[in-house]
Structure 1
Amino acid sequence: MNRDEIGGFAEASSGAPRLMGLDLGTKTIGLALSDVGRQIASPLETIRRVKFTPDAGRLAELCAQHRVGGLVIGLPLNMDGSEGPRVQSTRSFVRNLKPILPLPVFFQDERLSSAVINRMLIEADASRARRGELVDKLAAAYILQSFLDVMREVMALDAEDSASA
Protein backbone atom coordinates (compact mmCIF):
# COMPACT_ATOMS: atom_id res chain seq x y z
CA MET A 1 0.00 0.00 0.00
CA ASN A 2 1.17 3.44 -0.88
CA ARG A 3 1.55 5.90 2.00
CA ASP A 4 0.43 8.80 -0.20
CA GLU A 5 -2.71 6.96 -1.31
CA ILE A 6 -3.66 6.15 2.28
CA GLY A 7 -2.93 9.69 3.45
CA GLY A 8 -4.92 11.15 0.57
CA PHE A 9 -7.87 8.88 1.31
CA ALA A 10 -7.75 9.76 5.03
CA GLU A 11 -7.77 13.46 4.18
CA ALA A 12 -10.49 13.16 1.51
CA SER A 13 -12.73 11.14 3.85
CA SER A 14 -12.30 13.45 6.86
CA GLY A 15 -15.61 15.25 6.24
CA ALA A 16 -17.47 12.62 8.26
CA PRO A 17 -16.22 10.55 11.19
CA ARG A 18 -16.79 6.96 10.09
CA LEU A 19 -15.60 4.65 7.34
CA MET A 20 -17.62 1.80 5.87
CA GLY A 21 -16.07 -1.46 4.72
CA LEU A 22 -17.63 -3.48 1.90
CA ASP A 23 -17.16 -7.09 0.92
CA LEU A 24 -18.79 -7.26 -2.51
CA GLY A 25 -20.05 -10.66 -3.51
CA THR A 26 -22.21 -11.76 -6.40
CA LYS A 27 -25.20 -12.46 -4.14
CA THR A 28 -24.49 -10.31 -1.07
CA ILE A 29 -22.66 -7.21 0.11
CA GLY A 30 -21.16 -7.49 3.57
CA LEU A 31 -20.94 -4.18 5.41
CA ALA A 32 -18.87 -3.02 8.37
CA LEU A 33 -18.56 0.31 10.11
CA SER A 34 -15.69 1.98 11.91
CA ASP A 35 -16.10 3.80 15.18
CA VAL A 36 -15.88 7.61 15.02
CA GLY A 37 -12.21 7.46 16.03
CA ARG A 38 -11.49 5.13 13.10
CA GLN A 39 -9.83 2.58 15.36
CA ILE A 40 -12.23 -0.39 15.41
CA ALA A 41 -14.32 -2.02 12.68
CA SER A 42 -17.60 -3.71 13.57
CA PRO A 43 -19.87 -5.82 11.36
CA LEU A 44 -22.98 -3.90 10.33
CA GLU A 45 -25.21 -5.94 8.04
CA THR A 46 -25.40 -8.04 4.90
CA ILE A 47 -27.34 -6.75 1.92
CA ARG A 48 -28.90 -9.43 -0.26
CA ARG A 49 -28.17 -8.18 -3.76
CA VAL A 50 -31.18 -7.60 -5.94
CA LYS A 51 -30.31 -5.04 -8.62
CA PHE A 52 -27.78 -2.26 -8.68
CA THR A 53 -30.14 0.66 -8.02
CA PRO A 54 -31.79 -0.70 -4.83
CA ASP A 55 -28.42 -2.01 -3.59
CA ALA A 56 -26.80 1.41 -4.13
CA GLY A 57 -29.81 3.11 -2.53
CA ARG A 58 -29.45 1.00 0.61
CA LEU A 59 -25.72 1.80 0.77
CA ALA A 60 -26.40 5.52 0.39
CA GLU A 61 -29.07 5.34 3.10
CA LEU A 62 -26.71 3.60 5.55
CA CYS A 63 -23.85 6.00 4.76
CA ALA A 64 -26.07 8.99 5.51
CA GLN A 65 -27.49 7.39 8.66
CA HIS A 66 -24.05 6.56 10.09
CA ARG A 67 -22.24 9.68 8.82
CA VAL A 68 -19.77 7.80 6.63
CA GLY A 69 -16.94 9.78 5.05
CA GLY A 70 -15.37 7.09 2.88
CA LEU A 71 -15.65 3.51 1.65
CA VAL A 72 -13.03 0.78 2.01
CA ILE A 73 -13.87 -1.85 -0.56
CA GLY A 74 -12.35 -5.30 -0.64
CA LEU A 75 -10.49 -5.93 -3.89
CA PRO A 76 -10.58 -9.67 -4.72
CA LEU A 77 -7.14 -10.02 -6.27
CA ASN A 78 -5.92 -13.41 -7.45
CA MET A 79 -3.43 -15.13 -5.16
CA ASP A 80 -0.56 -14.01 -7.45
CA GLY A 81 -1.72 -10.38 -7.15
CA SER A 82 -3.16 -10.19 -10.65
CA GLU A 83 -6.60 -8.82 -11.42
CA GLY A 84 -9.29 -11.15 -12.71
CA PRO A 85 -12.99 -10.85 -13.57
CA ARG A 86 -14.05 -10.33 -9.94
CA VAL A 87 -11.77 -7.27 -9.67
CA GLN A 88 -13.23 -5.89 -12.90
CA SER A 89 -16.73 -6.42 -11.50
CA THR A 90 -15.79 -4.63 -8.26
CA ARG A 91 -14.29 -1.66 -10.10
CA SER A 92 -17.38 -1.49 -12.34
CA PHE A 93 -19.67 -1.47 -9.27
CA VAL A 94 -17.68 1.42 -7.79
CA ARG A 95 -17.75 3.40 -11.07
CA ASN A 96 -21.54 3.03 -11.18
CA LEU A 97 -21.85 3.89 -7.48
CA LYS A 98 -19.87 7.18 -7.69
CA PRO A 99 -22.74 9.33 -9.11
CA ILE A 100 -25.13 8.01 -6.45
CA LEU A 101 -22.70 7.99 -3.53
CA PRO A 102 -19.83 10.42 -4.19
CA LEU A 103 -17.56 9.32 -1.35
CA PRO A 104 -13.82 8.67 -1.49
CA VAL A 105 -13.04 4.99 -2.10
CA PHE A 106 -10.01 2.96 -1.09
CA PHE A 107 -9.50 -0.54 -2.50
CA GLN A 108 -8.14 -2.91 0.14
CA ASP A 109 -6.61 -6.26 -0.80
CA GLU A 110 -9.05 -8.87 0.48
CA ARG A 111 -7.22 -12.07 -0.40
CA LEU A 112 -8.08 -14.79 2.10
CA SER A 113 -10.44 -12.59 4.17
CA SER A 114 -13.41 -14.95 3.77
CA ALA A 115 -11.19 -17.98 4.38
CA VAL A 116 -9.88 -16.46 7.63
CA ILE A 117 -13.43 -15.64 8.78
CA ASN A 118 -14.74 -19.10 7.87
CA ARG A 119 -11.87 -20.76 9.77
CA MET A 120 -12.57 -18.55 12.79
CA LEU A 121 -16.28 -19.44 12.73
CA ILE A 122 -15.55 -23.15 12.37
CA GLU A 123 -13.18 -22.96 15.34
CA ALA A 124 -15.98 -21.21 17.26
CA ASP A 125 -18.20 -24.20 16.38
CA ALA A 126 -20.69 -22.07 14.42
CA SER A 127 -23.15 -24.09 12.37
CA ARG A 128 -22.99 -23.95 8.59
CA ALA A 129 -26.20 -21.87 8.55
CA ARG A 130 -24.83 -19.45 11.15
CA ARG A 131 -21.55 -19.12 9.21
CA GLY A 132 -23.58 -18.27 6.10
CA GLU A 133 -25.37 -15.49 8.01
CA LEU A 134 -22.19 -13.97 9.40
CA VAL A 135 -19.36 -14.49 6.94
CA ASP A 136 -20.00 -11.51 4.62
CA LYS A 137 -20.33 -8.80 7.27
CA LEU A 138 -17.45 -10.30 9.28
CA ALA A 139 -15.30 -10.35 6.13
CA ALA A 140 -16.19 -6.67 5.60
CA ALA A 141 -15.12 -5.95 9.19
CA TYR A 142 -11.86 -7.86 8.60
CA ILE A 143 -11.18 -5.84 5.42
CA LEU A 144 -11.98 -2.55 7.14
CA GLN A 145 -9.95 -3.41 10.26
CA SER A 146 -6.94 -4.32 8.10
CA PHE A 147 -7.17 -0.91 6.46
CA LEU A 148 -7.65 0.95 9.77
CA ASP A 149 -4.55 -0.73 11.22
CA VAL A 150 -2.41 0.21 8.22
CA MET A 151 -3.85 3.75 8.12
CA ARG A 152 -2.98 4.23 11.80
CA GLU A 153 0.62 3.09 11.13
CA VAL A 154 0.96 5.37 8.10
CA MET A 155 -0.41 8.36 10.00
CA ALA A 156 2.04 7.69 12.85
CA LEU A 157 4.96 7.49 10.39
CA ASP A 158 3.84 10.73 8.72
CA ALA A 159 3.65 12.41 12.14
CA GLU A 160 7.19 11.19 12.96
CA ASP A 161 8.48 12.44 9.59
CA SER A 162 6.87 15.86 10.19
CA ALA A 163 8.33 16.08 13.70
CA SER A 164 11.85 15.24 12.53
CA ALA A 165 11.76 17.65 9.58
Structure 2
Amino acid sequence: MTDPRSRTGARVGVDVGNARVGVAASDATGVLAHPVRTLPRDVETDSDVEAIVALVHELDAIEVVVGLPRLLSGEEGEAARIARDYAGRLAGRLGTVGVRMVDERLTTVDAHRRLRDSGVPGRGQRAVVDQAAAVLILQSALDTESLSGRPPGETVTPGGKRKKERRR
Protein backbone atom coordinates (compact mmCIF):
# COMPACT_ATOMS: atom_id res chain seq x y z
CA MET A 1 0.00 0.00 0.00
CA THR A 2 1.31 3.43 -0.97
CA ASP A 3 1.42 6.07 1.75
CA PRO A 4 -1.25 8.61 0.64
CA ARG A 5 0.82 11.41 2.15
CA SER A 6 3.42 10.79 -0.57
CA ARG A 7 0.94 12.31 -3.03
CA THR A 8 0.44 15.64 -1.33
CA GLY A 9 -0.68 18.49 -3.52
CA ALA A 10 -3.83 20.18 -4.71
CA ARG A 11 -6.28 18.32 -6.91
CA VAL A 12 -9.01 19.69 -9.16
CA GLY A 13 -12.42 18.04 -9.38
CA VAL A 14 -14.66 18.29 -12.45
CA ASP A 15 -18.36 17.55 -12.95
CA VAL A 16 -19.11 17.55 -16.69
CA GLY A 17 -22.65 18.46 -17.68
CA ASN A 18 -24.35 19.22 -20.97
CA ALA A 19 -24.62 22.96 -20.32
CA ARG A 20 -22.19 23.59 -17.46
CA VAL A 21 -19.01 22.23 -15.89
CA GLY A 22 -18.63 22.36 -12.13
CA VAL A 23 -15.11 22.83 -10.79
CA ALA A 24 -13.76 22.20 -7.30
CA ALA A 25 -10.27 22.11 -5.84
CA SER A 26 -8.60 20.70 -2.79
CA ASP A 27 -6.24 22.33 -0.37
CA ALA A 28 -2.51 21.86 -0.96
CA THR A 29 -2.43 18.83 1.34
CA GLY A 30 -5.08 17.03 -0.71
CA VAL A 31 -7.44 16.63 2.24
CA LEU A 32 -10.41 19.00 1.83
CA ALA A 33 -12.35 19.90 -1.33
CA HIS A 34 -14.05 23.26 -1.87
CA PRO A 35 -16.08 24.80 -4.73
CA VAL A 36 -14.27 26.96 -7.27
CA ARG A 37 -16.60 27.94 -10.11
CA THR A 38 -19.15 26.86 -12.67
CA LEU A 39 -18.09 27.21 -16.29
CA PRO A 40 -20.41 27.31 -19.29
CA ARG A 41 -19.81 24.24 -21.44
CA ASP A 42 -18.10 25.29 -24.69
CA VAL A 43 -18.15 22.50 -27.26
CA GLU A 44 -17.06 24.91 -30.02
CA THR A 45 -13.71 26.16 -28.72
CA ASP A 46 -13.15 24.23 -25.45
CA SER A 47 -12.69 27.48 -23.49
CA ASP A 48 -14.00 25.58 -20.43
CA VAL A 49 -11.24 22.98 -20.83
CA GLU A 50 -8.67 25.79 -21.18
CA ALA A 51 -10.00 27.45 -17.99
CA ILE A 52 -9.51 24.19 -16.09
CA VAL A 53 -6.00 23.80 -17.50
CA ALA A 54 -5.21 27.37 -16.33
CA LEU A 55 -6.57 26.59 -12.85
CA VAL A 56 -4.49 23.41 -12.63
CA HIS A 57 -1.36 25.42 -13.44
CA GLU A 58 -2.34 28.25 -11.07
CA LEU A 59 -2.80 25.79 -8.18
CA ASP A 60 0.17 23.67 -9.21
CA ALA A 61 -2.26 20.76 -8.93
CA ILE A 62 -0.95 17.21 -9.13
CA GLU A 63 -4.04 15.76 -10.82
CA VAL A 64 -7.58 16.30 -12.06
CA VAL A 65 -10.45 14.04 -11.00
CA VAL A 66 -13.35 13.87 -13.47
CA GLY A 67 -16.67 12.32 -12.49
CA LEU A 68 -17.80 9.28 -14.48
CA PRO A 69 -21.62 9.26 -14.52
CA ARG A 70 -22.44 5.56 -14.70
CA LEU A 71 -26.02 4.39 -14.83
CA LEU A 72 -27.43 2.87 -11.62
CA SER A 73 -26.85 -0.54 -13.21
CA GLY A 74 -23.13 0.26 -13.44
CA GLU A 75 -23.24 0.43 -17.24
CA GLU A 76 -22.01 3.49 -19.13
CA GLY A 77 -24.37 5.56 -21.24
CA GLU A 78 -24.09 8.71 -23.33
CA ALA A 79 -23.23 10.93 -20.34
CA ALA A 80 -20.29 8.65 -19.48
CA ARG A 81 -19.08 8.77 -23.09
CA ILE A 82 -19.19 12.58 -22.98
CA ALA A 83 -17.30 12.66 -19.66
CA ARG A 84 -14.65 10.23 -20.98
CA ASP A 85 -14.16 12.36 -24.10
CA TYR A 86 -13.86 15.49 -21.96
CA ALA A 87 -11.34 13.82 -19.63
CA GLY A 88 -9.31 12.69 -22.65
CA ARG A 89 -9.17 16.24 -24.00
CA LEU A 90 -8.08 17.51 -20.57
CA ALA A 91 -5.36 14.83 -20.37
CA GLY A 92 -4.13 15.85 -23.82
CA ARG A 93 -3.77 19.49 -22.76
CA LEU A 94 -2.30 18.85 -19.30
CA GLY A 95 0.74 16.81 -20.31
CA THR A 96 2.35 15.46 -17.15
CA VAL A 97 -0.52 16.30 -14.78
CA GLY A 98 -2.59 13.16 -14.34
CA VAL A 99 -6.31 12.87 -15.06
CA ARG A 100 -8.40 10.21 -13.32
CA MET A 101 -12.04 9.22 -13.65
CA VAL A 102 -14.09 8.21 -10.62
CA ASP A 103 -17.62 6.85 -10.36
CA GLU A 104 -19.99 9.70 -9.59
CA ARG A 105 -23.40 8.03 -9.53
CA LEU A 106 -26.01 10.28 -7.90
CA THR A 107 -23.65 13.13 -6.97
CA THR A 108 -25.86 15.75 -8.66
CA VAL A 109 -28.91 14.37 -6.85
CA ASP A 110 -26.97 14.46 -3.57
CA ALA A 111 -25.73 17.99 -4.32
CA HIS A 112 -29.31 19.22 -4.88
CA ARG A 113 -30.42 17.59 -1.62
CA ARG A 114 -27.55 19.11 0.37
CA LEU A 115 -28.17 22.56 -1.10
CA ARG A 116 -31.90 22.31 -0.33
CA ASP A 117 -31.14 21.11 3.21
CA SER A 118 -28.80 24.06 3.73
CA GLY A 119 -31.53 26.52 2.74
CA VAL A 120 -30.53 27.38 -0.83
CA PRO A 121 -33.78 27.97 -2.75
CA GLY A 122 -34.49 25.92 -5.90
CA ARG A 123 -33.79 28.83 -8.25
CA GLY A 124 -30.49 29.56 -6.52
CA GLN A 125 -29.30 25.97 -6.86
CA ARG A 126 -28.74 26.06 -10.61
CA ALA A 127 -25.76 28.40 -10.29
CA VAL A 128 -23.96 26.28 -7.71
CA VAL A 129 -25.18 22.68 -8.04
CA ASP A 130 -22.44 21.80 -10.54
CA GLN A 131 -19.78 23.14 -8.16
CA ALA A 132 -21.37 21.20 -5.30
CA ALA A 133 -21.33 18.01 -7.39
CA ALA A 134 -17.65 18.63 -8.26
CA VAL A 135 -16.89 19.01 -4.54
CA LEU A 136 -18.63 15.69 -3.80
CA ILE A 137 -16.71 13.94 -6.60
CA LEU A 138 -13.37 15.33 -5.46
CA GLN A 139 -13.96 14.79 -1.73
CA SER A 140 -14.98 11.19 -2.37
CA ALA A 141 -11.76 10.65 -4.36
CA LEU A 142 -9.64 12.25 -1.61
CA ASP A 143 -11.31 10.16 1.09
CA THR A 144 -10.94 6.96 -0.95
CA GLU A 145 -7.23 7.61 -1.43
CA SER A 146 -6.76 8.44 2.23
CA LEU A 147 -8.43 5.19 3.30
CA SER A 148 -6.96 2.86 0.67
CA GLY A 149 -3.54 4.41 0.15
CA ARG A 150 -4.09 4.24 -3.63
CA PRO A 151 -5.26 6.84 -6.13
CA PRO A 152 -8.96 6.29 -6.86
CA GLY A 153 -10.61 5.44 -10.15
CA GLU A 154 -8.83 4.93 -13.43
CA THR A 155 -6.12 6.83 -15.23
CA VAL A 156 -7.08 8.67 -18.41
CA THR A 157 -4.65 8.90 -21.27
CA PRO A 158 -4.76 11.68 -23.86
CA GLY A 159 -7.57 11.03 -26.29
CA GLY A 160 -9.66 9.30 -23.63
CA LYS A 161 -8.36 5.73 -23.84
CA ARG A 162 -8.50 3.75 -20.61
CA LYS A 163 -5.28 2.71 -18.97
CA LYS A 164 -5.50 -0.57 -17.13
CA GLU A 165 -4.77 -0.22 -13.41
CA ARG A 166 -2.61 -2.83 -11.71
CA ARG A 167 -4.23 -4.20 -8.60
CA ARG A 168 -1.98 -4.56 -5.60
Check whether TM > 0.5: yes
Percent sequence identity is 27
Residue aligning to 1:49: 41
One-letter code aligned to 2:135: A
Structure-to-structure mapping, 1:4-153, within 5 angstroms: 14=7, 17-50=9-42, 51-102=44-95, 103-153=97-147
Q: Deviations over 1:16-58 (max 9, x none)?
A: 7210000000111100101111110001111111234312211
Structure 2, gaps ≥5 residues long: 151-168
Higher gyration radius (CA)? 1
Shift of 1:10: 8.8
With structure 1 as the length reference, what TM-score do the two structures score? Answer: 0.81
With structure 2 as the length reference, what TM-score do the two structures score? Answer: 0.80
Report the count of equivalent residues. 147
Bigger share in helix: 1
> What is the alpha-carbon distance in structure 1 between the residues aligned to residue 146 and residue 45 of structure 2?
33
> What is the alpha-carbon distance in structure 1 between the residues aligned to residue 121 and residue 129 of structure 2?
12
Range with bigger deviation, 91-100 or 18-27: 91-100
Distance 1:92 1:10, change over 3 A: farther
Shift of 1:79: 0.2
